[in-house]
Amino acid sequence: MERLLITGIAGGQGRLVAKRLSDQFAVSGVDRAPWEGHPDYITVHTMDLRKKKFEDIFRRERPSAVVHLAFVRHFRADPMVRHEINVVGTKRLLECCAAYGVKRLVVLSSSYVYGALPESPYYMDEDTTLNVSRHYPDIRDLAEVDTLCSTFLWKYPEIATAILRPVPTLGYYVHSAIGAYLKLRWVPTIMGFNPMVQFIHEEDLAEAIGRTIELGLRGIFNVTGPGAVPLKVAIRETGGTAVPLLEPIARTAIDGLFRLGLYHLPPGALDFVKYPCTIDGRRFREATQFQPLFTLEEIFGSVRH
């Protein structure tokens, strides 16, 4: 049985991917946080990607496939640590993949790398530039990671590297920024703006990642779910109440609260509730015949409070 290594295996998405692929692969995983009570057919190494011993896993286990999910997407950590884990950690992982004969690699990027800009097309394809740093520099490390992996993709044609850029993911296991935002009782929005937002269910994303590994897909792919609704419909459907704020007030307030650690997102994130960041998922669907199983109703139901 071929071996699959999942980084960030203890996160919600990591667990789902591990289960999805454990029939075809001997699955092992790395995570900084432990996975209590993991199934015994899965090997879990509680370890930091930046540690020297990380390479030992490759030496010892010789995985033929790797799914890279170990990213810090929240802002609770020191920004330096965040940058190090995301960018330096990915670089280390890519070097190991090249050195130890990995044949298939999937990296989970996100649609956020395109940024939310007023002049962006509604359904951005994979050739759109990664504009997120223009107004939301706090997550530019994720755009750097994406670019780093694209370079790797072209540099090592013998490795089937796939970069997946899914739309915001919701579900029971996954903790996403948009999920935390929608779970607020009073959800701040910007007055006079109500962009379309796409969602995908975590199980569907696990299926998409699983299929990418199975098919040995190579390239950059947007991954979309069942469709889009205006942001305020999503807020209502998940049980919250939209609180429209005047933009200058919203920016000042969120900047202050974020600095004090009372709000989980920096003000740059406000662009994503102002302008659409919607993507075109045709390339992935044509390559994999992937069809999301979960409807928008079910997705909203999974995070309703």
Q: 137-150: buried (b, 16+ CB within 10 Å) or exposed (e) per residue? A: ebbbbbbbbbebbb
Q: Based on the shown chain and the rule CB under 8 A, indicate whether residue 36 belongs to the binding site for another protein.
A: no
Q: Based on the shown chain and the rule CB under 8 A, indicate whether residue 48 belongs to the binding site for another protein.
A: no
Contacts of residue 294, defined as CB under 8 A and 6 or more positions apart, other chains included, come to: 200, 201, 203, 204, 225, 226, 302
Q: Phi and psi dihedrals of 166, rounded to 5?
A: -80, 160
The binder of another protein chosen from 26, 196, 215, 245 (CB under 8 A): 196
Closest contact distance (angstroms) between CB of 212 and another protein is 24
Q: Based on the shown chain and the rule CB under 8 A, indicate whether residue 248 belongs to the binding site for another protein.
A: no
**Residue 210 exposed, middle or buried by CB count within 10 Å (0-12, 13-18, 19+):** buried
The region of 154-162, 186-194, 208-216, 263-271 touching another protein under the rule CB under 8 A is 186-194
Q: Give me 77's structure tokens.
A: 């950590």
List 228's β-bridge partners, or say none.
Answer: 198
Q: Based on the shown chain and the rule CB under 8 A, indicate whether residue 120 belongs to the binding site for another protein.
A: yes
Nearer to another protein, 32 or 232 (CB): 232
The binder of another protein chosen from 37, 118, 248, 261 (CB under 8 A): 118
The CA-atom distances, in angstroms, between 290 and each of 1, 209, 222, 244, 283 are 25, 10, 12, 37, 10
Q: 189 near 245, Cβ under 8 Å?
A: yes
Nearer to another protein, 122 or 172 (CB): 122
Q: Based on the shown chain and the rule CB under 8 A, indicate whether residue 245 belongs to the binding site for another protein.
A: no
Q: Based on the shown chain and the rule CB under 8 A, indicate whether residue 191 belongs to the binding site for another protein.
A: yes
Q: Based on the shown chain and the rule CB under 8 A, indicate whether residue 121 belongs to the binding site for another protein.
A: yes
Helix and strand counts by DSSP (H, E) for the chain: 11, 12
Q: Based on the shown chain and the rule CB under 8 A, indicate whether residue 236 belongs to the binding site for another protein.
A: yes
Q: Based on the shown chain and the rule CB under 8 A, indicate whether residue 194 belongs to the binding site for another protein.
A: yes
Q: Which residues bind another protein (CB under 8 A)?
A: 118-125, 190-194, 196, 227-230, 232-233, 236-237, 242, 244, 247, 275, 278, 280, 295-297
